Amino acid sequence: MLSEFDLIKRYFAQHSIQDSRIALGIGDDCALLNPSPGMQMAISSDMLVSGRHFFPDADPYKLGHKCLAVNLSDLAAMGAAPLGFTLALSLPEANQDWLAEFSRGLLALADEHHCHLIGGDTTKGPLNICITIFGELPPGTALRRDAAKVGDDIWVSGTLGDARLALAGYWNEVTLSESDHQLAATRMHQPSPRIALGMALRGIAHAALDISDGLAGDLGHILEKSAVGASLFIDQLPAGPVLQTQPQELRRQFTLNGGDDYELCFTAPASNRQHVIAAAAKSHTAVTRIGQIEANAGLRLVDEDGKPVKLQYKSFDHFVNP
């Protein structure tokens, strides 16, 4: 049986860190960081539970990717540059095949974003993965949820709804071809954190967040924190490539309420439209203008002709939803 220390050494401590900001990595009571002088630190924690956030038999490589991706996405939503993360892992058993694949998926994404694994904890127990991530950004540049202003455009990166469509496929809510289902499932299992876009939007966007529980619900947090309202152009919401082939009703529902896309939703003054488009180009990320911040509280949906659309929108809540 592999011991706790062997496990960490073998699977997670293998890549050497070449970053002067990491003074000490895995292996002591604490890791030691030297924050860049004058920079602010952004910190976020996400806990993923088997059977709730992922299927118990999930591909461990993709799972490793996703666990870090959702945390990187929180940094992206703040406009922060990744620095490092800790990993706490509760495992039913020290399954070496699983660990090898999980750590490979995790560290591949970590390397891609120059985000170093600096510490953590392992224990025996029901499968649970908790990552705390650290990033940096110049003070005053964070894209906060409370910073939306009346008149701001509302934007979204990439496309929405394919992750939710993949889930609908698993649940037999819809019938998808095998290849369509696989394509949609990639969005669900291997989201792309929009780090480059988030950083490029510093000083251009006002408010931002990442869409984990659905656009309508998540945008609602910006509206609440900023004490504003919004109109959304329901038929401007960029549906994922697979969802685009589905009927309008499903497109509207899944672009508006589907979770797990990890795209950025952000607001920016109308005068910054060209800067937003330049930031998107610079970060090789598509963006779509999908609405407007208004003084009138609440979220209104309008169709292509500017007519109000009645559509239920709700967000996922871990303690209210089943």
Parallel, antiparallel, or unpaired: how do β-strands 298-302 and 287-294 relate? unpaired
Per the rule left: phi > 0, alpha: psi between -120 and 50, beta: everything else, 191 is beta
Asked if residues 192 and 288 have their Cβ atoms less than 8 Å apart, the reply is no
Give the nearer residue to its own copies in terms of CB position, either 105 or 120.
Answer: 120
Q: Write down the least CB distance from residue 234 to its own copies, Å.
A: 25
Q: Write down the least CB distance from residue 73 to its own copies, Å.
A: 8
> DSSP characters for 136-202?
EE-TT----GGG--TT-EEEEES-BSHHHHHHHHHTTSS---HHHHHHHHHHHHS----HHHHHHTT
Q: Write down the least CB distance from residue 317 to its own copies, Å.
A: 5
- Residues written for the chain: 322
Give the nearer residue to its own copies in terms of CB position, either 23 or 270.
Answer: 23
Give the nearer residue to its own copies in terms of CB position, either 13 or 165.
Answer: 13
Which residue, 78, 92, 187, is CA-closest to 133?
78
Q: Write down the least CB distance from residue 290 to its own copies, Å.
A: 19
Give the nearer residue to its own copies in terms of CB position, either 9 or 114.
Answer: 9
Q: Which residues of 211-262 form beta strands (DSSP E)?
A: 229-233
Q: Write down the least CB distance from residue 162 to its own copies, Å.
A: 22
Give the nearer residue to its own copies in terms of CB position, either 163 or 208.
Answer: 208
Q: Write down the least CB distance from residue 61 to its own copies, Å.
A: 22
Give the nearer residue to its own copies in terms of CB position, either 34 or 296.
Answer: 34
| Cα–Cα dist 86/115, whole Å | 10
Sequence-ordered list of residues with C-beta below 8 angstroms from that of 270, at least 6 positions apart, any chain: 151, 152, 153
Q: Write down the least CB distance from residue 2 to its own copies, Å.
A: 6
| Cα–Cα dist 121/133, whole Å | 14
Give the nearer residue to its own copies in terms of CB position, either 77 or 106.
Answer: 77
Give the nearer residue to its own copies in terms of CB position, either 47 or 183.
Answer: 47
| Cα–Cα dist 65/110, whole Å | 8
- The CA-based dihedral angle spanning residues 89, 95, 99, 100, taken in that order and rounded to the nearest 10 degrees: 170
- Cα atoms in the Cβ-side hemisphere of radius 13 Å centred on 74: 20
Q: Write down the least CB distance from residue 202 to its own copies, Å.
A: 13
